[in-house]
Structure 1
Amino acid sequence: MAKHNIILTKQGKTVHGTVQLTGSKSECNRALIIEALSDGKVIVENISDAADAVTLARILRESQLYGAESDQGVYENPHLATHTPHLINIGPAGTAMRFLTAYYAIGNQEVILTGSERMKQRPIGILVDALRGLGAHISYEENEGYPPIKLKGSFEQQTRKISIKGNISSQYITALLLIAAKLPLGLEIHIEGDLTSRPYVEMTLAMLRQAGIQHSWADNVIAIEKQDYAETSLHVEPDWSAASYWYAIAALSDEAELFLPGLTSYSLQGDSVITELMANFGITSQFKDGGVFLTKEPKPIFRKIFDLKECPDLAQTIIVVCAALDHEASFTGLETLKIKETDRILALQTELAKIGVKLIEKGQVYKLDCSEKQIPQRMFVNTYDDHRMAMAFAPLATLIPELEIEDADVVEKSYPAFWTDLVKVGFEVKKA
């Protein structure tokens, strides 16, 4: 498919309006797996229109995995047991790859999970090793440790205890937690080292609790016993990750008044911490009338170090805002960025160089050098098949007269209406 570039412009440095965000991709993907495993007891409300969530919902619907339990207690559907592996292509949906790997590992189907070329470069070995340790039969079709993978659908649980590194991707842990209540012996996860993106694991456990699944978490051990789901509905909140781009736009504007309906101060989403992070840049968040009001107030920026370990999906947004405002901050907790949709560290370094800003790596600390920063009349932004690169750099249109964004459709992964919403609040979007 040919890439569709756009040119983004913004007259004036004020922004006003109301933006209705799509449902959270993170919440929705968890809810869809819980629904599929619940034997019809759990219903998902406000399903996200993010491409990743749409893909996962379609795969689960087509698989029709709403069958009975076997004598092993694992999830199965005898009508779908075949001798020919079913090929499932999840495209660039990384969350779907991780969650479905665990999901199909305890089923009775033989499937091959594959995806885009970038997906075949994203490691999955840690999750596969953990599932193999539990009793799953999984093999690699091409390169060891990477998709595509074959799941043979003949699960017999060997143990309830597994160990997994906590500093690689919280999605591996979430994938295991989502299937834990269906395992005959339950599950006990021992997390090795520091846990990256802890709020995402907490979100998973909170949603499981809403669906009747209880857990214990002591020190570095999370345990879930085999148990039944409760009849309930899971309502997906609007996406705080998507909200972060509106906070960035407000931060780079002289004057901003934005209302984002549906967002609450007690969100399960770790990225709701954007309210605290953006307070450093003069953005006030007021929760009322069923949403959050953003306003911009002039304020000097004092914070010099941002630890983003628990919210790595906000890294691009925060780093670009700091660069645009000449704020030479340092950043930690970026270890997982190199295995995302692209190598986000390298992508940030490459694109920021176009405005003369350096992102310098010193061990696990990254520092901005804005000493040679310049604002060009025109800038071309490469997006590297990464939705967050497109949206994190889009706010620069408040500073750069003509901003060309490569492959605008990439935002469909998490926020399909992004460009349309920009138009509603005064941006101009046209084909390049």
Structure 2
Amino acid sequence: MSKNALVSFKGTKNINTEIQLTGSKSECNRALIISALSDKLVKVENLSNAADTVTLDGILKKLGVESSELGESATLKAPNSTLVDVGPAGTAMRFLSAYLSAKNGNFLLTGTERMKQRPIGILAEALKTIGANISYAENDGFPPLNIVGPLNQKTSKVKIKGDVSSQYISALLMIAPTLPDGLTLEIDGELTSKPYVDMTLDMLAEAGIKHLWNGNSISISAQPFKSSTLVVEPDWSAASYWYSIAALAHEAEISLPALKEKSLQGDSKIQNIMRIFGISTEKTEKGIAISNLGVSLDTDQILDLKTCPDLAQTIIVVAAALGKNMAFTGLETLKIKETNRIAALQNELAKIGVTLTEDNLVYTLNTDGLHFPDKITIATYEDHRMAMAFAPLALLINEVEIEEMQVVEKSYPYFWEDLKKAGFEVKEI
């Protein structure tokens, strides 16, 4: 039976703490695929303990690809008709779709019921164009996928939409150097979440893979990986919840060791965004420190989150709780995440009298009816970011009950323990 978390904060709302964050899930999952493709040449340090990363690492091990830290050969040894179940791990689904297409074997790639509702057709069709043997086991355009590899490359050029998921592009880029003729991707339309594509290319570069990005085309030739080590930085997505806590506290001084101001992770943009709410970021000898300056800014600007959509829930909840009638764009991909995050936000923000409305891809908060009940219960919709975006409201509401508290394991397993370190009370109920 799933448990709920009852979150509260007693006494003065002053936060002074140091939080050691887990490794970046985004970096780890890319590093694991790159390591697996490199035939033991690329090693990985500071693996995340996030459930998605644990899932991907475990799958690669079961397929005969030992973790690079163990120094084993990365030759795929799976028998035919291998079931590969990613559970709720969306990144693993997308990356493995490409990875398994390039490897020898017969696979059924599947996941949870929600995963079967998340589209994969754009990536699968791109892989089929290149020469992959992929068919849909149930519904066209959705998992599960039947994959028979290795692909028989038919072309070295493929067009793919840029405004749906950058993970499709990253999945293709990572297998590109292993293909006989390399690969050129033509990005069709505006590129969503460009920092995540930059992250993929930067990590490939660390592993010795060169690329050429010219206009809307990214080209990677067939080339070998070099012996190298990918050191994973702590997770800026996880850091965003501490920015939220700082913004909702009366006073805050929070140290986050090992984070870099200049990061591969697109979610490091939280540093600049949170200035709107009076949160400063300073580089320290250990990492960074964030503090609440006590002065938030009035802003009429429309905040564009297309390059960092995973920050959207955190930022929107903070803005709502502080009574800011802000507007946002770049939220299109939120509807195909772990849940429809737009609908989830609308449902849960209504519990504090706030509306989030859409008009021609612009989403606007109206906080005129904002109020804080003595207790609130937040549904999480099997979405880790819903739980962590709303939990900081315990600084403004006496009791915040978060349903299905275990969902945080997907990206930040120690979230509840870290809240306790900062002075929150967290009870399982």
Which residue matches 2:314?
Answer: 317
Tell me the distance in 1 between the aligned counterparts of 2:361 and 2:121.
23
For the structure 1 residues 76 and 149, does the alpha-carbon distance in structure 2 shift closer, same or farther, using more than 3 Å as the test? farther
Amino acid corresponding to residue 143 of structure 1 in structure 2: N
Tell me the distance in 2 between the aligned counterparts of 1:377 and 1:80.
55
1:61 matches 2:61: yes
* Residues 76 and 108, structure 1, Cα contact 8 Å, conserved in 2: no
Tell me the distance in 2 between the aligned counterparts of 1:65 and 1:326.
50
Tell me the distance in 1 between the aligned counterparts of 2:65 and 2:323.
52
Give a deviation string over 1:257-289, Cα, whole Å, max 9, x none: 000001011110000000000011111100111
Tell me the distance in 2 between the aligned counterparts of 1:309 and 1:80.
38
Which residue matches 1:284?
Answer: 280
What are the residue-to-residue correspondences of 1:149-188 with 2, within 5 Å?
Answer: 149-188=145-184
1:359 matches 2:356: yes
SS in 2 for 1:57: helix
User: How far does residue 77 in structure 1 lie from its aligned partner after superposition?
Assistant: 4.6
Which residue matches 2:5?
Answer: 6
1:384 matches 2:381: yes
1:400 matches 2:413: no
Which residue matches 2:423?
Answer: 426
Which residue matches 1:45?
Answer: 45
Which residue matches 1:123?
Answer: 119
Amino acid corresponding to residue 364 of structure 1 in structure 2: L
Give a deviation string over 1:222-257, Cα, whole Å, max 9, x none: 000000011010000000000000000000011000
Which ranges in structure 1 are unaligned for 5 or more consecutive residues? 67-74
What are the residue-to-residue correspondences of 1:138-217 with 2, within 5 Å?
Answer: 138-217=134-213
Give a deviation string over 1:169-212, Cα, whole Å, max 9, x none: 00000000010000000000000000000000000000000000
Deviates more, 1:200-209 or 1:7-16: 7-16
For the structure 1 residues 45 and 64, does the alpha-carbon distance in structure 2 shift closer, same or farther, using more than 3 Å as the test? same
User: How far does residue 302 in structure 1 lie from its aligned partner after superposition?
Assistant: 2.2
Give a deviation string over 1:329-378, Cα, whole Å, max 9, x none: 00000000000000000000000000000001111000000111111000
Which residue matches 1:334?
Answer: 331
* Residues 77 and 108, structure 1, Cα contact 8 Å, conserved in 2: no
1:228 matches 2:224: yes
* 1:109 counterpart (84, 105, 108): 105
Give a deviation string over 1:51-72, Cα, whole Å, max 9, x none: 0000000111111148xxxxxx
CA root-mean-square deviation: 1.2
Task: Provide TM-score, normalisation by structure 2.
Answer: 0.97
SS in 1 for 2:186: strand
What are the residue-to-residue correspondences of 1:240-259 with 2, within 5 Å?
Answer: 240-259=236-255
SS in 2 for 1:280: helix
Deviates more, 1:151-160 or 1:206-215: 151-160
Tell me the distance in 2 between the aligned counterparts of 1:361 and 1:28.
34
* 2:132 counterpart (125, 131, 136): 136
User: How far does residue 300 in structure 1 lie from its aligned partner after superposition?
Assistant: 3.4
* Residues 283 and 297, structure 1, Cα contact 8 Å, conserved in 2: yes
Count of residues paired in the alignment: 421
Tell me the distance in 1 between the aligned counterparts of 2:324 and 2:97.
42
* 1:271 counterpart (264, 267, 285): 267
Residue identity (%) = 56
Amino acid corresponding to residue 410 of structure 1 in structure 2: V
User: How far does residue 154 in structure 1 lie from its aligned partner after superposition?
Assistant: 4.0
Which residue matches 2:78?
Answer: 80
Q: Flag as ranges the 4+ runs of structure 1 deviating above 6 A.
A: none
Which residue matches 1:300?
Answer: 296
* Residues 35 and 42, structure 2, Cα contact 8 Å, conserved in 1: yes
* 2:90 counterpart (81, 90, 94): 94
1:411 matches 2:408: yes
Which residue matches 1:69?
Answer: none
* Residues 63 and 76, structure 2, Cα contact 8 Å, conserved in 1: no
Which residue matches 2:69?
Answer: none
Amino acid corresponding to residue 157 of structure 1 in structure 2: Q
User: How far does residue 76 in structure 1 lie from its aligned partner after superposition?
Assistant: 9.1
Tell me the distance in 1 between the aligned counterparts of 2:186 and 2:37.
23
* 2:342 counterpart (324, 330, 345): 345
User: How far does residue 112 in structure 1 lie from its aligned partner after superposition?
Assistant: 0.3
Tell me the distance in 1 between the aligned counterparts of 2:36 and 2:150.
19
Which residue matches 2:23?
Answer: 23
SS in 1 for 2:154: coil
Amino acid corresponding to residue 259 of structure 1 in structure 2: S
* Residues 81 and 108, structure 1, Cα contact 8 Å, conserved in 2: no
